[in-house]
Each structure stands twice: as structure tokens, then as C-alpha cells.
Structure 1
Amino acid sequence: MSKPVLGAALSIKSIPAHRDWLLDRQRDLEIQDFFRADLLDGDWRSTAGEIKQMLSGHTGRLGIHGPFWGFKIDSHDPMIRQAVTKRLIQGLDAAEFLGATQMVIHSPFTTWDHNNLDLYPDNRANIVERVKATLAEVIARAETIGCEIVIENIEDRDPRDRVRLAKALESAKVRVSLDTGHANYAHISTGAPPVDYYVETAGDMLTHVHLQDTDGFADRHWAPGEGNIPWVAVFRALGRVNSNPRLILELRNHDDVRKGAAHLAALGLAE
């Protein structure tokens, strides 16, 4: 039985060191330059052009991490929602220029929400409506350019919340992402289910995974093997998913990408 092929999240600075590794199996790549507001407001096309040149010959699936700093996608304030919409459209502009077919955005659900969302009967429906108001133009643009938006868990304590939200947005171009380290933090520090439960809950709505290891206390972005995530259980759950998610090593130190990949390969889980 074939094993999944790992990809990585890299930047313009780290792509050259991993170019051969990316091309040897035409691995999936997530570019991590275009969530920066200063770049999106500046000459981002020059940066994107350089990246395109670096990736000559790369035919793996290409994605970007969308903007996320300083905002949430469920703001109550219409003026803030307009700013968020603009930022995410800027991200899609970069994605289209690069030929990227996936953009990661962040879940709005907080640890506070887990305890307080059901305090008032309309809270959950209102979150959906606020997210729809923020993302309507973004989703329409994503559908036009063929770029899937995936919603990544951040503080999410109940993995079902994000999946329900993605489904409520009613677009074939909206799916969910799993960050294994964020899930492990939520599990150990806030009482969320284990990481493999996040995979099972998402099922075929899962089309993107950030693979990173943690101790469950902080968002370490360590290479797999350096923390305490039960990788065998995670990949066993991934083996039951039919949506062929991109498996992206998202590490704080990009130099550790191959070390992390080698650890998962040594466990017989991936290539």
C-alpha cells in the first residue's frame, strides 16, 4: 500500500535549500510569505515572481498561508469586516498570480467560545452570519480562480465547530485544515480531544494538514519526533480519509523539514 508523500511550508528564503527535495517527488508546497501585511501592501508581485522562478519544474500542489495577523473572520464590527475581506482578497490575488490552488485562513473559535457559545440561543448562528458577511466576496473570488479556502484550527476545543462552519458556508471551495500542534495544545492544555479525533471529525472535509509537534503547552512547531504527538494514531486516522489532504510540515525552523520527514518515514507512516 502506498504511503502519503509529505510536503512543506516554506518561504522565499527557505525554498532554495529544499528545492531538490520538493522536486524529487513533486511534493506539495505551502508558501508562507503572503500572510504579511507589509508585503501585501508593498511590491508583492516581485516576491511572487522570484518564487515562481525558484519553482520552475515543480508540479506538486501549491498553496499559500493567507493573512491572519491582527484580526478574526467573525468580527462584530462591519468596518473591521471590510478590512478583513480586503486582506483576504489580497491573499487571493497573490494565490492567483502564483497559480496556488489553496489558501489557509484561521478559525474564529476561541477557548472562551467553548464555554460561552451556548449561553445564548443565537450565538452559533450569529457567528456563521458574521463569517458569511466577511467571506462572501472572498469565497466568490476563490471560486472564480479555483482556489480552495481551508479553515485551520487555532484555539478550537471542539473540532466539530470548525467543520460545521465550513459546511454552513455552502461552497465546494471551503474545506478545513488541521494543525496537529494546535490540536495537541488544545488537547493537553484546554481539555480538547486528542489529535486523531480532529482528523476523524473532519473526515473528507479535511483537505490540508499542518504537521508539527508540540509538548501540548505551547505552539512549538517542532519537527515530528521532538514532542509528544502520537503520530501512528494520527496517520491511522488520516488513512481513513478519502479527500487526499496536503500533508504540510510547518516547522518553526525550516532547516528541520527533512529531519521531520525522516522521522515520519522511519515510523513507516509517510514518504
Structure 2
Amino acid sequence: MPALRPPLRIGAALTAAEIATHRDWLFDHDRDIEIQDFMSHAALTHERDDRVAAVRAALDGHAGRRGIHGPFEGLDIDNKDPELRPLITARFLAALEAADRIGARQMVMHSPYTRWYEYNRLAQPDYAATKLALVHDVMAPVVRKAGEMGITLVIENIHDVRPETRREMVESFGSEAIALSIDTGHAQLARRMSGAPPVDYFVRDAGARLAHVHLQDLDGHADRHWAPGEGEIEWPAVFRALADCNGAPHLVLELADSADIPAGFAHLQRLGLAV
């Protein structure tokens, strides 16, 4: 087995209300934090000011890197309806404003690529180009605004089968304001469901464009968001690939139950992968 690299510092994806429970672990080592309070319609409209205030209070004293998870439900970045696309863009712009107000420099967004796309991308003329044009219509103003704010949009794999498809979409913008995110559980689930490559291949394909990682484990059947060690992911291979990326991605445990963060961290620490 290849030698392991030095362990990597990891943080967590949490709501403002969950931060206090893990405050010492997070703050004493300036760990990455991803805030998950700004994903809903309410959170980005009439509740936004209150949520911003609550997050800023919870983060008081935190000197590490920050990001947010952007909204996604019903907000496909390749939406075909020309009346809806500007509404989706506006929602993402509102999320960027929230991110900026709490000092976040990343925003996680969801990939539009699916198994259906991979099976059909060559079945119709211009199928891939048409989808990409829709993505640019929704996202070009968001990428531009993110660049002005100094925020990086990171596109997370959801149903993605081929990691290069999402990477090529990100590269098509020609902007440092958009990069790649990998969810380890989603990649492993795609491996089982759709014949995708192993998780470490997703990481290696992203390379220096990888700016963010959701660390979660699962059984290969459902999107469990279990603590590392509870599922089937080959964590040494994943962390070897991360160490070879020539970047410094935000690394956050994104677990179904934030109470499992200590156990997940301890497992990775025992393997010599995390600090």
C-alpha cells in the first residue's frame, strides 16, 4: 500500500444552532465551517436578517475558513423554463449576499448532471451544448457576482456519473470564482448505482480545481450521511488523493446527525488521515 501523506485538518458542516456543541473542537484549531442555514426560501427572504445575526453570533471568535451551502431544492441550474431561470438566478444572488454578510468565501451548489444525461448526451444533436447553455444562462450572473465579492462557487456532485463532465462545465466559465466540490458519499453511491469510478478518482479528476469536500460515509444503497467508519468508503485512498490535489480544499464532515462528528473525526484520526 502506498505511504500515507501527513494528516489533513478537517471541519464540519453545521447550522448556527449546532456550532456551540462543537465550539472548542472547531474554534481552537480554526477549522473549516460550512453554514447550512441559508438553503430555504424563507432563509433567503423574510428570515435572512435574523439568520445572518444568529450565524454571526455563533461564529464570534472563529478565525477559520467559512462557507455556506447554497439553496438547491427546485432550483435546477439547467432549468428549461425561461420564465423561471431569472428567479433561480436571483435566489442564488440572495444567497451570495448572505454568505458575504457572515464572512463566508465559498458557496456550495448542486450539479445538474445525472445518469440520464450520461446515457443520452450523444443521442441527440447538441444535447450537451444545449444543457450547458442553460447552465450559463442561470449561472453567468452568479459567477460574475461571486467574483466581485471574492466568493468561490463550488459545484457538488449529486447524481454525477463521470467526474469530468462536471469539471468541464466548471472550466467552461473560465473564472476563478467557480470550482469543484466533492461529496464522498454521493460519489460512492454513484459507483454502486451507476457504475461511476471510485471516490478517489473523483478527487483526482478534480485536481487543483477541488475547493471543497463533504466527508460522509454510507452503505452504497442510500445517501446516509453516516460518520466515516460506519460505511464502505475506502478512506485511505480518498485522503491520498486529497493530499495529491495541490490545493487546499475546505474539508467538512457533513453528517445526518451532528452528534456523530466526534466519532467520525476519531475514526479518521485513528487511520492517521485527519487532525
Map of 1:67 onto structure 2: 71
Structure 2 residue aligned with 1:82: 86
1:55 to 53, 59, 62: 59
Query: Quick check: 2:161–2:190 contact (8 Å CA) kept in 1?
Result: yes
Shift of 1:2: 4.0
Letter in 2 for 1:40: L
Mapping for residues 155-174 of structure 1, pairs under 5 Å? 155-174=159-178
Structure 2: how far apart are the matches of 1:188 and 1:26? 35
Q: CA deviation at 1:32?
A: 0.4
Amino acid at match of 1:160: E
Match of 2:20 in 1: 16
* Number of corresponding residues: 271
2:244 equivalent in structure 1:
240
Corresponding residue to 1:6 among 4, 7, 10: 10
The partner residue of 2:188 within 175, 184, 188 is: 184
For 2:53 and 2:180, locate their aligned partners in 1 and report how far apart those are by CA, in whole Å: 28
User: Hey, what's the Cα distance between the residues in 2 that align with 1:67 and 1:31?
Assistant: 12
1:121 offset after TM fit, Å? 3.2
Q: Distance in 1 between matches of 2:8 and 2:47?
A: 36
TM-score by length of 1: 0.98
Deviation at 1:267, TM superposition (A): 0.4
CA drift of 1:258 comes to 1.4
Cα distance in 2, alignment partners of residues 3 and 190 from structure 1 = 31
State the alpha-carbon separation in 1 of the partners of residues 234 and 227 from structure 2.
13
What is the Cα deviation at residue 43 of structure 1? Answer: 2.4
1:253 maps onto 2:257 in alignment: yes
Find the counterpart in structure 1 of residue 201 from structure 2: 197
One of 151, 154, 171 as aligned partner of 2:155: 151
- Segments of structure 2 that go 5 or more residues without pairing to the other structure are none
Q: CA RMSD in A?
A: 1.0
CA distance in structure 1 between the aligned counterparts of 2:241 and 2:229, rounded to whole angstroms: 18
> Distance between the aligned counterparts of 1:121 and 1:183, measured in 2?
28
Deviant stretches of 4+, over 4 Å: none
Aligned partner of 1:92 in structure 2 is: 96
User: Residue deviations 1:47-102, cap 9 Å, x none?
Assistant: 21121122111111000000001121011111121111011011101001111000
**What secondary structure does 1:183 align onto?**
helix
Task: Provide the rounded CA distance (Å) in 1 between the counterparts of 2:17 and 2:54.
Answer: 11
Give CA deviations for 1:204-249 in whole Å, capped at 9, x if unaligned: 1101000000111110000000000000110111111111111110
Amino acid corresponding to residue 185 of structure 1 in structure 2: L
Instruction: Provide closer, same or farther for how the CA distance between residues 264 and 57 of structure 1 changes in structure 2, counting only shifts above 3 A.
Output: same
1:54 and 1:13 mapped to 2: Cα distance? 8
In the alignment, does 2:132 pair up with 1:125?
no
Rounded to whole Å, the distance in 2 between the matches of 1:52 and 1:5 is 23
Question: Could you give the per-residue CA deviations for residues 15-46 of structure 1, whole angstroms, max 9, x where no partner exists?
Answer: 11011111111000000010111211212112
Q: 1:219 aligns with which of 213, 217, 223?
A: 223
The letter of the residue matching 1:113 is Y
SS in 2 for 1:14: helix
Structure 1 match to 2:119: 115
Normalised by the size of structure 2, how large is the TM-score? 0.96
Partner of 2:12, secondary structure, is: strand
Alignment match of 1:45 (pick from 27, 45, 49): 49
